[in-house]
């Protein structure tokens, strides 16, 4: 076996194949999270500045149609900021369920091996239960970190939505003065 696959083999031995699935889900979750941080820091800020410039360049700022257009533009920009939020929430919810699946399959394997050996060794059962609960612990840990990130992202989106509307209104006041 190649040297780079040894950690994966130890992971499967420690908690079963479900632990590998949880690790893949965690990598996807954190990749999406890093993408959102990157998008917010770079792409969103440029798009926000461009939107404010486009709004201030307009002549009409007071008619119903122009205010509606401003709201549509703002909603579209905030919508792009929210784009991956449902996927992040799905992956966060999936992690504890995968952990539970790993625990159930691990416990089935423990009871199956105890039935095959025809002995009731407490040490073997304790080791098996410890291995079976590892996926639940891992799934919960990934979910907690993912939940913290999604909560923070929702807070940022709410704040940016308010700031964007405030800046668009202030940009008109500054050009009128």
* Each residue's pLDDT expressed in tens, for the chain with a length of 177 residues: 688 878 878 777 777 788 889 999 999 999 999 999 999 999 999 999 999 999 988 888 888 998 899 999 999 999 999 999 999 999 999 999 999 998 888 888 878 777 777 666 767 677 778 778 889 999 999 999 999 999 999 999 999 999 998 998 887 776 655
Rounded Cα gap, residues 127 and 106, in angstroms: 11
Rounded Cα gap, residues 20 and 11, in angstroms: 7
The model's pTM is: 0.81
Quick check: 18 and 102 in contact, CB under 8 A?
yes
Quick check: 125 and 110 in contact, CB under 8 A?
yes
For position 119, what pLDDT does the model report?
62
- What's the full length of the chain, in residues? 177
For position 145, what pLDDT does the model report?
96
CA distance readout (Å), 94 to 2, 20, 52, 118: 31, 14, 39, 36
Closest CA to 157 of 44, 70, 69, 51: 44
Rounded Cα gap, residues 159 and 49, in angstroms: 16
Q: Which two tokens stand for residue 118?
A: 């025809």
For position 175, what pLDDT does the model report?
60
């Amino acid at each position: 076996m190649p040297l780079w696959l040894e950690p994966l083999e130890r992971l499967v031995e420690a908690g079963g194949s479900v632990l590998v699935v949880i690790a893949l889900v965690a990598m996807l979750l954190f990749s999406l999270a890093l993408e959102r941080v990157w998008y917010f820091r770079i792409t969103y800020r440029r798009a926000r500045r461009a939107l404010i410039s486009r709004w201030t360049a307009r002549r009409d700022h007071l008619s119903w149609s122009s205010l509606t257009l401003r709201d549509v533009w703002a909603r579209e920009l905030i919508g792009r900021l929210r784009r991956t939020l449902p996927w992040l929430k799905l992956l966060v919810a999936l992690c504890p369920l995968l952990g539970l699946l790993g625990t159930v399959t691990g416990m089935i394997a423990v009871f199956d091996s105890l039935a095959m050996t025809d002995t009731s060794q407490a040490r073997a059962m304790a080791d098996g239960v410890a291995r079976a609960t590892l996926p639940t612990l891992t799934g919960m840990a990934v979910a907690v970190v993912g939940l913290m990130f999604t909560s923070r992202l929702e807070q940022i989106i709410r704040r940016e939505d308010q700031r964007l509307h405030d800046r668009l209104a202030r940009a008109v006041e500054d050009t009128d003065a």
